[in-house]
Structure 1
Amino acid sequence: MNPQRDRAAAVPGPWQPVVVPTTRQPFASRGVALVAAAVGVVLLALSGRYGYHRDELYFVAAGKHLAWGYPDQPPLVPLLARLADLVAPGSLVALRLPSTLAAIAIVTLTAAIARELGAKREGQVIAASAAATCGLVLAMTHLLSTSTFGLLGWTLLTLLLVRILQDGATLGRWVAVGAVAGLTAQSNPLVGLLLVVLVAALAAVGPRQLLREPGLYVAGAIAVVVIAPYLFWQHTNGWPQLDVARGIANGESGSSEPRALFVPMQLLLVGPLLTPFWVVGLVRLLRMPSVRVLGATYLGLAALLLLLGGKPYYLAGLYPLLLAAGAQPVVYRIKVPACVALLGLSVPAVVFTLPVLPAAQAGIPVAVNYDVGETIGWPDLVKQVAATHRTLPEGTAIVAGNYGLAGAVDRYGPDLGLPPAHSGHMAYWLWGPPPDEADSVLAIGVDPDVLDDAFTTCREVGVLENRWGIDNDEDGTTMLACTGLTRPWVDNWPAFRRP
């Protein structure tokens, strides 16, 4: 038994009339398994509803151009999209199955963290249930995204770090930390920011002896080796990820929020009724000497993201830890039935994170959750593109203003006789312009100034409409028919590039 662990666990948290047990409790395997299975069943049942997210269409396209990196992401998620498309071409269920499995793992790991922090069986099940009803967890694990596996990786990392902090550091644990960090970075490089803030927090609040542990530097070396191919790709391509980050900081992403909303959005994203769990968890971590550094890491990372203009959901990976830390103290304070009631009242929030309502009635969820709107209407929009394209000269190329539109044309267009799409957005720009003989294009949502410079004539030939009345980024997009290429495509193409 670790004396430091005993002393840390004995520190009372807020709302906690009795001391959290000082020894590791048995794992509530049956209860946690039931919660995790319920989440998996719900996500699996809803995974085919609505349609692809614009990012998923991009991942499928990127999976057909496998590389060690892309302007806006590492290679892991496009690789998963490629594998899913090979196993079950065109299947949303198959594409999102890795995310469903990630959700099951996140729920289970949250319970495991709660156990490491002294939670009894009921506390572990409550922690798992809090993760299962958390809006961030459900939204991120419904779709295939870089955030999905960032969330999974951060949750596993925090479990490993809790074990190191409470039970002592071993080389094996540090190796695991390095491997998990590296693999997580192959999905979402934000984990590097987490580790930088963690080291700074160790220097600020301790335990500082970990900074002298050789294993810490072994972990760092392993993480760098795993992510090195992606870093090399970024280096050789001029670090386009930094341009993407600057665009996000300037609010150019559809899911960006003003800095003033960063803190309030934490309450909304996790779920207002789950606030007692994670706030108590944060305060408890800050009061526990052995794991205080993790609470300080959350605060430090929140401050840094606010300063840099990061998206509010970038903190998502630390909420399973906070929910786990707060579960048992809240159980002690308000008892299990009240906790169950809070969790039960949180369930209706799935309407805003999962495709529960018919698409025609999704207007309210879309007003709250931008990403819902980006999953509705793609096949219908491509049919509109195809109908317009048939009125244009043979050999007319298609150039789209963003990777979602381009990915939709590439996914649904072949069955409608459409040529491959081209776009200057993100990795699509790297995949090249239309062929030189394409003197005519159907431009969808492309900057008119760029088109006026590239062609002698452009005229409006249609406007995309969402027949369900959903207000998303594509609804109202103008289609232009342009002819008379002013220069060869190789000379025009740089002007089409956008991060």
Structure 2
Amino acid sequence: MFYADNPSMTATGPRARQSPLPAVPPAGVAALPRFASAPIATVVAVQVAILTALSGRYGFHRDELYFVASGNRPAWGYVDNPPITPILAKLSTALFGNTPTGLRVVATVIAAGVVVLVALITRELGGGRAAQVLASVATALSGYVLSNAHWLSTAGVDLLLWLAISLLTLCLLRTRDGRWWIPIGAVIGVGLANKWLVLLLVVAIGVGVLAVGPREVLRSAWLAAGIAIAAVIVAPLLVWQAANDWPMLTVASGISEDDGLENRLMFVPHQLLYLSPVLVPVWIAGLVRLWRDPAMRWARSFAVAYPVLAVIIIAVGGKPYYALPMLVVLLAAGATPTVRWLSRGGRARRASAGVAAAVGVVVSVAVALPVLPPDQVGIAMAITEEPGETVGWQRFTENTAHVWREIPAARRGTAVIFTRNYGQAGAIDMYGHEHGLPRAYSGHMSYADWGPPPDTMTGPVLLIGPDPTTVGRWFTGCRAAGQNDNGLGVDNKEQGTRFTLCDAPTDTWSRLWPSLRHFY
């Protein structure tokens, strides 16, 4: 068998021995092409340089502020996510500084890992040098990957881990060597320590293997060992969740109830837009190739896995981006037929493809990376709200301090700042010391576990973004004290947030606290 983008590669020869675990591939399965190490290293170097240069623009994302706060309070779990991403936040800021640039070093490393894994998946699926380079460049410049590469998020970590699981599973399916279950189980365990969403991937691929094979990999004795490794890794997290009444299930059900209809309606449009509309033909070609190409029969389960994953996500009302890592795998599968299509076309075909790719890159970069002036970020927010969540936090803290100083100095020792959400509390914890502010308290997500204020705090309360139903019931003598203005005209979630000053809580904080907790 010959590969279109690597004519010198045959199904026999010394390169067949490059599999990390020794095994004889099934009949008809070709040996792996050589890994394009030099060009992939170049792609990664350029990617890292650009991400590092832009990492300090704008500021922390609200979720990053929460991850930093969580990392400073280590635990086996948090209300809305397991501990891996907060641990990474703590590690990165401890090593490189408590700044956006310092925090995002780990996000940049993760992004580089994603590019390498995509190239390896492309190789595992028979893609030669040209296909590996195409897949890695397309991935590095796609909107979803760029966005998660710029700031630290659970989705970015998930992308890396899902791709690692996919690569290892492809190795298992290609070689039929059951020992691959050991690293698969380990990475699944780590994935569960970041987000339970990895179970969706496991179910989708499992259904694919059961439906179209190769089913013999499920009869390997090594499967039990892989399951045991995953169970050992995740056990402390499950104990924590059980001891705290499974809060992650509460959060997940809330997402489905509040946003389920919108998520279902927007699932297909987001599949077409999130990577880039330009890349849709590539990943569709990958899906078709995995299903129809006889040489890819051993990997056909991945062609089944994506629609299974889509059906599950739509059924539960999950967010459309949950399926994006699988689209990246299909993108890797589609690189080989895309290279073949380009090579068979004339100059006009390649020129038109180049123009389309350039337009796609410009749009992806403008939306996902902080290249626009901060006061123009609203342009990118027309497509996604995430860029708006990275501007205005220092100004927000300054405005909070301005209202705080309205409290008489003699009463500030028993006063409390109480916020509506973790982003507000995280910003005050990050920047408040520069303005003489105390720590913030909140009933939102895991911030509720880090409170309440001491019962000796009986003085005034500065409410930020108060829930109208809480003001009269739990606080007395409340009056409007202004609104937040980020000074940029950016209509993000905190623009116009109300400040309210109250004389005191109606009861001790410990008694009020259970009623002040909320997840959304």
TM-score (norm 2): 0.89
Distance 1:312 1:39 in 2: 26
Partners of 1:101 and 1:370 lie apart in 2 by 24
Q: Distance in 2 between matches of 1:441 and 1:103?
A: 42
Alignment partners' CA distance in 2, 1:60 and 1:329: 43
SS of equivalent residue, structure 1 residue 250? helix
Higher relative contact order (CA 8 A, sep 6+): 1
* Distance in 2, Cα, partners of 1:25 & 1:341: 30
The code of the aligned residue for 1:81 comes to A
Partner of 2:456: 437
Cα displacement (A) at 1:342: 4.3
Match of 1:357 among 372, 377, 381: 372
Contact 1:379/1:408, CA 8 A, preserved across alignment: yes
Pairwise CA distance, 1:215: 1.7
Cα distance in 2 for partners of 1:35, 1:276 equals 22
> How has the CA–CA distance of structure 1 residues 472 and 230 changed in structure 2, closer, same or farther, with 3 Å as cutoff?
same
1:398 aligns with 2:417: yes
Query: Which stretch shifts more, 290-299 or 243-252?
Result: 243-252
For residue 3 of structure 1, report the CA deviation from its aligned partner: 8.6
Deviations 1:175-212 (A, max 9, x none): 11111111122122211221122222222222222221
The structural deviation recorded for 1:160 is 0.8
Where do residues 216-365 of structure 1 align in structure 2 (5 Å cutoff)? 216-251=223-258, 257-287=262-292, 288-335=296-343, 337=350, 340-348=354-362, 349-365=364-380
Which deviates the most, 222-231 or 415-424?
222-231
In structure 1, how many angstroms separate the alpha carbons of the residues matched to 2:109 and 2:166?
Answer: 19
| Partner Cα separation in structure 2 for residue 93 and residue 352 of structure 1 | 19
1:379 & 1:159 partners in 2: Cα distance? 42
Q: Which one of 127, 136, 139 corresponds to residue 147 of structure 2? A: 139
Matched, 1:154 2:159: no
Show the 5 A alignment for 1:455-474: 455-474=475-494
What's the counterpart of residue 494 of structure 1? 514
Match of 1:428 in 2: 447
Q: CA deviation digits over 1:106-149, x for unaligned, max 9?
A: 11111111111111211111111111111111111211111111
Report the 3-state secondary structure (helix = DSSP H, G, I; strand = E; otherwise coil) of the residue aligned with 1:391.
coil
Q: Is the 8 A contact 2:454 2:510 kept in 1?
A: no
Q: Provide the C-alpha distance between the structure 1 equivalents of 2:387 and 2:188, rounded to a whole number of angstroms.
A: 30
Q: Answer yes or no: is the 8 Å Cα contact 1:400–1:445 preserved in 2.
A: yes
Aligned to 1:371: 386
Matches within 5 A, 1:51-62: 51-62=59-70
Corresponding residue number in structure 1 for 2:6 = none
Q: Does 1:190 pair with 2:209?
A: no
Q: Residue 373 and residue 6 in structure 1: after superposition, are their counterparts in 2 closer, same or farther (change >3 A)? A: farther
Compared CA separation, residues 5 and 347, structure 1 to 2 (3 A): farther
Query: Number of aligned pairs?
Result: 483
| In 1, Cα distance between equivalents of 2:504 and 2:158 | 46
Contact persistence 1:111–1:124 (CA under 8 A): yes
SS for the counterpart of 2:382 is helix
Bigger shift: residues 395-404 or 83-92:
83-92
Q: Deviations over 1:9-32 (max 9, x none)?
A: xxxxxxxxxxxxx43211111111
Checking the alignment, whether the CA contact within 8 Å between 1:170 and 1:215 is kept in structure 2 is yes
| SS of structure 2 residue aligned to 1:317 | helix
The reply to whether residue 84 of structure 1 matches residue 98 of structure 2 is no
Amino acid in the other structure paired with 2:265: A
- 1:214, 1:242 → 2: CA distance? 32
Q: Using the alignment, how far apart are the partners of 1:278 and 1:237 within structure 2?
A: 41
State the alpha-carbon separation in 2 of the partners of residues 326 and 252 from structure 1: 32
Provide the C-alpha distance between the structure 2 equivalents of 1:140 and 1:251, rounded to a whole number of angstroms.
24
Give, as a single letter, the amino acid of the residue that structure 2 aligns with 1:497: R
Give unpaired runs (5+ residues) of structure 2: 1-15, 17-22
Matched residue, 1:19: none
Cα contact 1:4–1:290 (8 A) shared by 2: no
Could you tell me how far 1:464 is from its partner in structure 2? 0.8
Give the partner amino acid of 2:285: V
Kindly tell me: are residues 481 and 96 of structure 1, through their superposed partners in 2, closer, same or farther at Cα, counting changes over 3 Å? same
Deviations 1:18-53 (A, max 9, x none): xxxx43211111111111211111111111110000
Rounded Cα–Cα distance in structure 2 between residues aligned with 1:150 and 1:179: 14
Match of 2:436 among 403, 410, 417: 417
What is the aligned partner in structure 1 of residue 32 from structure 2? 24
In the alignment, is the contact (CA less than 8 A) between 2:178 and 2:217 conserved in 1?
no
Tell me the alpha carbon deviations over residues 386-426 of structure 1, each in whole angstroms, 9 at most, x when there is no partner. Answer: 00100013232100000000000000001100010000001
CA distance in 1: counterparts of 2:61 and 2:232, whole angstroms:
32
CA shift for structure 1 position 5? 5.4
Q: 1:56 to 1:309 in 2, by over 3 A?
A: same
Deviation (angstroms), 1:360: 0.9
Q: Any stretches of 5+ residues in structure 1 without a counterpart?
A: 9-21
Deviates more, 1:187-196 or 1:459-468: 187-196
TM-score scaled by structure 1?
0.93
CA gap of 1:6–1:368, structure 2 versus 1, over 3 A, is: farther
Give CA-to-partner distance per residue, 1:213-267, whole Å, 9 cap, x none. 22222212211211111111111000000111012112359xx943111011111
In structure 1, the residue matched to 2:401 is 386
SS in 1 for 2:455: coil
Question: SS where residue 466 of structure 1 aligns?
Answer: coil
How has the CA–CA distance of structure 1 residues 340 and 157 changed in structure 2, closer, same or farther, with 3 Å as cutoff?
farther
Where 1:108 maps in the other structure, the secondary structure is helix
Of 131-140 and 214-223, deviating more is 214-223
Aligned equivalents of 1:282 and 1:6: distance in 2? 23
The two structures, once aligned, show a CA RMSD in angstroms of 1.8
